[in-house]
């Protein structure tokens, strides 16, 4: 890659935490950092072994007109980084000046970037200014969530004429990159605004040694402190950015919920599937048979904190699948008993009544609240309803609106009571002709 002549003017890297980076093997020989403003960067813990910084003056550093030619980034190992969950919303790239950049030498040819999954990255609010000339860039619909850069290999790639439509960077390996010959002179990193970046959900697993001590106590071990925001009652409350799933007891496997948690109230909920390949739902989830109803019931009862009834529902389900008619008859009685107990439980009714109400016309067998839906399953589980309507699968964005402002337990009950579509939002919008 040749970044020669690029001008990153306007970027502000202040407050970046580069702690724990190991730049061993970099050759900075001959660099001239005049003009760059790296104030407030936390480089604590960096290891510059083998670097040659000859002649650099780090007091009040001015790295403008740096010449990074001759840099050799070989030996960098980006494997293990997990960028999923990054929230870039609020970034303002307005001041970037791409005017002078000469990317002509970049050659992306030969790379096979299809299959990139940028799902759920929010680039909302990005402003690329008027200077940028993105030529044929088309970033509509890019979704950077859950990018795995582990094992990327950029070695020897020639990128001319690449098509970034569906880039797959998995298994890329940056080792062996040679940035030699790049000329970053005139970079101006002052003035850009990374204020709204949220790295809360980043997996810092491999960054054990990060030290953000240069951040004036705003971070704890690389995690930003909770901010306050107005809650649903208009009070200022701590707000935690959280992601729930993809694996939790009684949780739809592979579902990822991102949102903000104030106390135990969820807001700004977004749902996505971790694994979008498995477009078809689990065979048992999809069915409307008695075993499927008992499965759903057992999972719901787990979430509702009724382990004894959940245990019995599973026992009944296992028995119904048996070939022995005696066992089936016994399981049938057990299923009827569990279904009746769940149906009649006043405690459950008192606890679950009024949560997850679906009022939309046409929701059919999903209409009503959590309790209505569970009681319909009970009918199926007890074998009373011989030809139940097939359950319509709900789109994730529809479900997400139901969870807005719900207490976390109520949200869990709601999710456990709804059949979710495995189709992604993108497929939906394609289907709608967008």
Q: CA 416 to CA 306: how far, in whole Å? A: 14
Kindly tell me which residue out of 348, 394, 402, 420 binds other proteins, with binding defined by CB under 8 A.
348
Q: CA 293 to CA 299: how far, in whole Å? A: 10
Going residue by residue from 161 to 200, which x/- string records binding to other proteins, judged by CB under 8 A?
Answer: ----------------------------------------
Q: CA 415 to CA 327: how far, in whole Å? A: 32
Q: Please identify, among the stretches 3-11, 33-41, 245-253, 362-370, the one whose residues bind other proteins according to the rule CB under 8 A.
A: 245-253
Kindly tell me which residue out of 79, 267, 345, 398 binds other proteins, with binding defined by CB under 8 A.
345
Kindly tell me which residue out of 409, 426, 427, 428 binds other proteins, with binding defined by CB under 8 A.
409
Kindly tell me which residue out of 44, 240, 274, 318 binds other proteins, with binding defined by CB under 8 A.
240
Residue 351 binding other proteins, by CB under 8 A? yes
* Closest to 132 (Cα-Cα) out of 92, 99, 104, 100: 99
Going residue by residue from 60 to 99, which x/- string records binding to other proteins, judged by CB under 8 A?
Answer: ----------------------------------------
Residue pair 112/165 in contact (Cβ under 8 Å)? The answer is no
Kindly tell me which residue out of 229, 237, 248, 286 binds other proteins, with binding defined by CB under 8 A.
248
Strand partners, 220: 223
Residue 59 binding other proteins, by CB under 8 A? no
Going residue by residue from 388 to 407, which x/- string records binding to other proteins, judged by CB under 8 A?
Answer: -------------------x
Kindly tell me which residue out of 24, 263, 364, 390 binds other proteins, with binding defined by CB under 8 A.
263
* Closest to 101 (Cα-Cα) out of 184, 22, 195: 184
Kindly tell me which residue out of 297, 338, 402, 410 binds other proteins, with binding defined by CB under 8 A.
410
At 303 the three-state DSSP class reads helix
Phi and psi torsions of 219, nearest 5°:
-110, 150
Pairing of strands 227-230, 236-244: antiparallel
Residue 258 binding other proteins, by CB under 8 A? no
Strand partners, 22: 47
* Closest to 255 (Cα-Cα) out of 424, 128, 141, 428: 424
CB 374, min distance to other proteins, A: 11
CB 15, min distance to other proteins, A: 19
When the beta carbons of 76 and 342 are compared against other proteins, the nearer one is 342
Strand partners, 242: 259
At 412 the three-state DSSP class reads helix
Contacts 24+ apart (CB under 8 A), 98-101: 98/6, 98/7, 98/128, 98/129, 98/131, 98/132, 98/133, 99/7, 99/131, 99/132, 99/133, 100/5, 100/6, 100/7, 100/186, 101/5, 101/6, 101/7
CB 397, min distance to other proteins, A: 23
- Interface residues for other proteins in 195-234 (CB under 8 A)? 204, 220-223
Residue pair 36/66 in contact (Cβ under 8 Å)? The answer is yes
Q: Please identify, among the stretches 67-75, 111-119, 295-303, 363-371, the one whose residues bind other proteins according to the rule CB under 8 A.
A: 295-303
Residue 357 binding other proteins, by CB under 8 A? no
Phi and psi torsions of 248, nearest 5°:
-145, 155
Pairing of strands 265-273, 255-262: antiparallel
Q: CA 382 to CA 379: how far, in whole Å? A: 5
When the beta carbons of 119 and 201 are compared against other proteins, the nearer one is 201
Kindly tell me which residue out of 57, 114, 322, 350 binds other proteins, with binding defined by CB under 8 A.
350
Residue 250 binding other proteins, by CB under 8 A? yes
Kindly tell me which residue out of 91, 187, 400, 413 binds other proteins, with binding defined by CB under 8 A.
413
Interface residues with other proteins (CB under 8 A) are: 204, 220-223, 240, 242, 244, 248-250, 261, 263-264, 301-309, 311, 345, 347-348, 350-352, 407-410, 412-413
């Amino acid at each position: 890659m040749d970044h020669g002549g690029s001008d990153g003017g306007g970027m502000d890297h202040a407050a970046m935490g580069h702690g724990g980076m190991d730049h061993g093997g970099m050759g900075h020989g001959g660099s001239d950092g005049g003009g760059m403003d790296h104030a407030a960067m936390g480089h604590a813990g960096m290891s510059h072994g083998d670097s040659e910084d000859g002649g650099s003056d780090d007091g009040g550093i001015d790295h403008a007109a740096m010449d990074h030619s001759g840099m050799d980034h070989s030996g960098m190992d980006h494997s293990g980084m997990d960028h999923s969950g990054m929230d870039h919303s609020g970034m303002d790239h307005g001041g970037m000046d791409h005017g002078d950049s000469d990317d002509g030498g970049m050659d992306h040819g030969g790379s096979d970037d299809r299959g990139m999954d940028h799902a759920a990255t929010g680039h909302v609010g990005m402003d690329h200014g008027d200077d940028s000339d993105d030529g044929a860039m088309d970033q509509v619909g890019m979704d950077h969530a859950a990018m795995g850069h582990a094992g990327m290999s950029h070695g020897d790639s020639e990128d001319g004429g690449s098509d970034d439509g569906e880039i797959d960077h998995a298994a890329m390996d940056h080792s062996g990159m040679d940035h030699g010959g790049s000329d970053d002179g005139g970079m101006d990193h002052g003035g850009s605004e990374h204020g709204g970046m949220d790295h809360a959900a980043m997996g810092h697993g491999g960054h054990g040694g990060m030290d953000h001590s240069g951040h004036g106590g705003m971070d704890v071990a690389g995690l930003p402190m909770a901010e306050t925001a107005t809650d649903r009652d208009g009070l200022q409350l701590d707000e935690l950015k959280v992601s729930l799933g993809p694996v939790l007891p009684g949780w739809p496997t592979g579902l990822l919920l991102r949102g903000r948690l104030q106390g135990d109230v969820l807001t700004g909920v977004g749902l996505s599937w971790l694994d979008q390949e498995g477009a078809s739902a689990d065979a048992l989830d999809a069915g409307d048979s008695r075993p499927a109803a008992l499965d759903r019931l057992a999972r719901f009862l787990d979430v509702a904190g009724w382990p004894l009834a959940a245990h019995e529902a599973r026992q009944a389900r296992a028995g119904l699948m048996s070939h022995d008619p005696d066992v089936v008859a016994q399981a049938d009685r057990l299923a009827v008993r569990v279904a009746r107990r769940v149906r009649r439980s006043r405690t459950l009714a008192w606890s679950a009544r009024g949560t997850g109400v679906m009022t939309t016309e046409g929701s059919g067998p999903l209409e009503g609240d959590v309790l209505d839906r569970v009681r319909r399953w009970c009918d199926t589980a007890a074998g009373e309803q011989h030809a139940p309507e097939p359950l319509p699968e709900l789109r994730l964005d529809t479900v997400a609106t139901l969870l807005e402002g719900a207490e976390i337990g109520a949200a869990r009950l709601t999710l456990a009571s709804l059949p979710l579509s495995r189709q992604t939002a993108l497929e939906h919008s394609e289907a709608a002709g967008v």
